[in-house]
């Protein structure tokens, strides 16, 4: 019987607010350290997903606390805090949860497929450090197939409702006259770059400026989407003239503080970062409005209501691919046991035929072998069907088969 089980442990927007999620967020370096420690402990197969909406560890362990301990060690969260807002899935339920994530059904904004890119990044990152096994690779590929079918055969993603687009909608809804307004985007990671592109596409009458610590990246994106780029070192000056400041850096603490604002200019500050990059004190300044990803998630309610009608279709897709994966898993687990069973029965068959022919020397050998082989194949087929059944406790059945026939 397998010593380890497949678990997914973590927390998400469903129970944990943005402050709590910030505590458990994992930097790339800490993700690397976590994976390397798991590998050194011979933990077979591990992925780490750390986004603005969720932090999850996916992999094999003797018990879920092994994974929880790793998460708490490399984040700022505690076991006690985790226990209040967390979830733990095991084996089949963990498989279903992983596929569900990939379809966008579990996203904070229903149908948001940004998570698919984040899953791909997590998978490649884990592969780089050698913590991807055959089980996780197969599950990852099945999840991507489910995601693709959801996009192609349902309307779960109808209308654009990502965090970055929600920011655009918020700007449109709350600034009456957008023409010639100054929009400054600071931070050009995945979300920052997407938001910059969305601004260039949907807010064409505004003056869009971008900046990033990596000057080359900022210049290249500015040229690609036709907006202005400024040197990061001139950030403070441009914050003063911005009507809208969008912050999307990868800093692990607030880097925009009240010191950046020395006038009473009416300004909208949108913080797309996890952990928060805008200090809480900024929202108390006069004429300053600060919103974060939790506020943005309330946008586009009509679109979400329409998407909810697609949920039964998506759930059917999830069940389809869950079943496909579990069949593969059952086949993978049961193949050695089935082969051993067949060899054992063929040995019994051989002995039985030998004894039979001793007593019935004039019998037709070919006919006797054909009948015996049919019986063996039917028995093997029955066992194979039993092991494939979803309700079967595969490990237990294999153990019984091995005890009887091997």
- Active-site residue list: 52
- Residue 28 half-sphere exposure toward CB, CA atoms < 13 A: 9
- Judge contact between 12 and 62, C-beta under 8 A: no
- Taking the mean position of all CA atoms in its chain, how far away is CA 149? 17
Cα within 13 Å of Cα(30), Cβ side: 17
- Measured in degrees and rounded to the nearest 5, phi and psi for residue 185 equal -110, 120
Order of strands across the sheet that contains 244-247: 228-229, 207-211, 182-186, 244-247, 267-271, 288-292
- Give the number of other Cβ atoms within 10 Å of residue 10's Cβ: 26
SS3 272: coil
How many CB atoms sit inside 10 A of residue 375's CB? Answer: 12
Is residue 387 a contact partner of residue 401, using CB atoms and an 8 Å limit?
no
Say which residues have a Cβ less than 8 Å from residue 366's Cβ, sequence separation at least 6: none
| Cβ–Cβ under 8 Å, residues 7 and 67 | yes
């Amino acid at each position: 019987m397998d010593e380890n089980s497949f678990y997914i442990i973590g927390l998400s927007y469903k129970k944990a607010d943005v402050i709590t999620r910030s505590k458990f967020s994992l930097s790339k370096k800490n993700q690397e350290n976590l994976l390397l420690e798991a590998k050194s402990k011979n933990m077979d197969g591990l992925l780490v997903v750390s986004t603005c909406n969720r932090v999850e560890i996916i992999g094999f362990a003797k018990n879920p606390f092994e994974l929880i301990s790793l998460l708490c060690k490399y984040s700022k969260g505690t076991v006690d805090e985790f226990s209040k807002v967390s979830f733990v899935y095991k084996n089949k339920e963990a498989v279903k949860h992983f596929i569900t994530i990939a379809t966008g059904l579990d996203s904070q904004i229903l149908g948001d497929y940004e998570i698919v890119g984040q899953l791909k990044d997590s998978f490649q990152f884990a592969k780089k450090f050698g913590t991807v096994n055959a089980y996780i690779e197969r599950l990852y590929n099945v999840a991507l197939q489910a995601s693709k079918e959801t996009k192609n055969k349902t309307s779960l993603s109808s209308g654009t409702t990502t965090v970055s687009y929600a920011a655009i909608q918020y700007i449109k809804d709350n600034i009456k006259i957008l023409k010639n307004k100054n929009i400054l985007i600071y931070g050009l990671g995945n979300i920052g770059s997407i938001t910059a592109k969305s601004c260039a596409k949907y807010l064409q009458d505004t003056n869009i400026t971008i900046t990033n610590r990596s000057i080359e990246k900022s210049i290249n994106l500015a040229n690609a989407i036709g907006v202005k780029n400024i040197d990061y070192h001139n950030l403070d000056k441009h914050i003063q003239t911005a009507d809208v400041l969008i912050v999307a850096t990868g800093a692990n603490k607030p880097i925009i503080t009240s010191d950046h604002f020395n006038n009473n200019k009416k300004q909208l500050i949108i913080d797309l970062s996890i952990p928060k990059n805008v200090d809480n004190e900024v929202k108390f300044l006069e004429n300053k409005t600060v919103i974060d990803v939790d506020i943005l998630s309330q946008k586009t309610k009509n679109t979400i209501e329409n998407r909810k009608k697609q949920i039964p279709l998506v759930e059917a897709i999830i069940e389809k691919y869950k079943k496909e994966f579990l069949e593969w898993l059952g086949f993978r687990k049961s193949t050695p046991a089935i082969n051993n069973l067949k060899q054992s029965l063929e040995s019994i068959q051989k002995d039985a035929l030998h004894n039979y022919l001793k007593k019935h020397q004039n019998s037709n050998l070919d006919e006797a072998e054909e009948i015996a082989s049919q019986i063996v194949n039917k028995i093997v087929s029955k066992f194979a069907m039993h092991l494939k059944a979803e309700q079967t406790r595969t490990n237990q059945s294999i153990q019984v088969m091995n005890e009887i026939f091997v």
